[in-house]
Amino acid sequence: MSNSLIIALDFANKKEVDIFLSQFEQEQLFLKVGMELFYKEGPSIIAALKEKNHQIFLDLKLHDIPNTVKSAMRNMASLGVDLVNVHAAGGIPMMQGALEGLEAGTLSGSKRPDCIAVTQLTSTSEEQMQQQQLINVPLLDSVLHYASITKEAGLNGVVCSTLEAGAIREKIGTDFLTVTPGIRLDSDNVQDQVRVATPKKAKENGVSSIVVGRSITRSANPYESYLLFKNEWEGVTQ
C-alpha cells in the first residue's frame, strides 16, 4: 500500500459520500472510513465502497485491553478492508492481540489487512504532549519510541506526521510504513492540525502514503483539488 494518496471520507452519511464520489467517475481510489461515517453507517458502507473496487483504510484507532482489541479486529478483518489501525499507546500486548484478531478474521484466500499504529496524533504539539500526557521528552523521541514498539509488536508501520517520517525510516527501516495525515498545500488552512506538511515535503521525506481530508472533501471543486494533491505527491522524484 505504498505511494497512495488516501482520501479521508469524513462525511456524516452515505448520501454525502455518494455525492462526493460521483465527481470521480470510474477512478479507483484509496478511501479512509473513519469514526464519523462508520458509526453512522456501519459495515454496509465498507461493502458499498468495496463493490466499486476502492481500497479501504478503516480508521477506528482502537485502544483497549488486548482481548477486546483482538475480538474487534477479528470482526474488522472479516469486512475485507485493506488497512486498519490502533494507538501504539495501548502497548505491545494490545498490538499483538490486534494482529492475532486480524489473522483469525481474514477471509480465506484474502490477504490480512495491514495494521499500523498511531504514534502522536498530527493535531498534537510538543507542548501539549508534554503538559497533557506528561511525556517529558521531545515529540520526535516519543514518536520514535512508539514506532519502535510498534515494530517490536510486528505491525506494518505507523501513523505519524511527515516531519517525523525520515527519522522513522532511518531508525526502523524502509519496509516499515509511514502513513501521514496533516497534509496541506502551502495555501491551505491548517484547521485543527498542528504538524502539517505539503505532499511535496512528504515525498521528499520518504513517506509511504499521505492522507488528505478536508482540503479535498470540502473544496469547491473536489476533483480538481484531488488532482492538485495527486500531482504534487506523484510529481516529485525522491
Ligand X SMILES: O=c1ccn([C@@H]2O[C@H](COP(=O)(O)O)[C@@H](O)[C@H]2O)c(=O)[nH]1
Residue positions forming the annotated binding site: 10, 32, 59-68, 122, 184, 193, 213-214
How long a stretch of residues is the chain?
A: 238
* Smaller CB separation from ligand X, 77 or 121: 121
Q: Residue 22 has which C-alpha cell? A: 460521483
Query: Please, what is the minimum distance in Å from the beta carbon of residue 107 to ligand X?
Result: 26
Piece of the chain touching ligand X by CB under 6 A; list 20-28, 105-113, 130-138, 212-220: 212-220
Asked if 193 interacts with ligand X (CB under 6 A), we say: yes
Q: How many CB atoms lie within 10 A of CB 236?
A: 14
- Check residue 212 for interaction with ligand X (CB under 6 A): yes
Nearer to ligand X, 161 or 172 (CB): 161
Please enumerate, by residue number, every residue annotated as part of a binding site for substrate. 10, 32, 59-68, 122, 184, 193, 213-214
Helix (H) or strand (E) holding 86: strand 83-87
What is the residue whose three cell numbers read 484547521? 191
If you search the block for the grid coordinates 480465506, which residue do you land on? 108
C-beta closer to ligand X: residue 105 or 209:
209
**Is 199 a binder of ligand X (CB under 6 A)?**
no
How far apart are CB 146 and ligand X at their closest, in Å?
11
Q: Is 118 in the site for ligand X (CB under 6 A)?
A: yes
Are the C-beta atoms of 208 and 177 separated by less than 8 Å? Answer: yes
Number of residues that bind ligand X (CB under 6 A): 15
List all residues 6 or more positions away from 183 whose beta carbon is below 8 Å from its beta carbon. Answer: 162, 196, 197, 198, 199, 202, 210, 211, 212, 215, 229
- In the set 80, 181, 199, 222, which binds ligand X (CB under 6 A)? 181
Residue closest to 197 by CA, chosen among 223, 224, 170, 236: 236
Cell numbers given for 77:
478483518
Q: Which active-site residues does the annotation give? A: 59, 61, 64
CA distance 238 to 235: 10
Which member of 214, 219, 223, 236 binds ligand X (CB under 6 A)?
Answer: 214
Q: Is 140 left (phi over 0), alpha (psi -120 to 50) or beta?
A: alpha
Q: Does residue 113 bind ligand X (CB under 6 A)?
A: no
Q: Within 217-236, which residues bind ligand X (CB under 6 A)?
A: none
Binding stretches for ligand X (CB under 6 A):
8, 10, 34, 118, 121-122, 159, 181-182, 193, 211-215
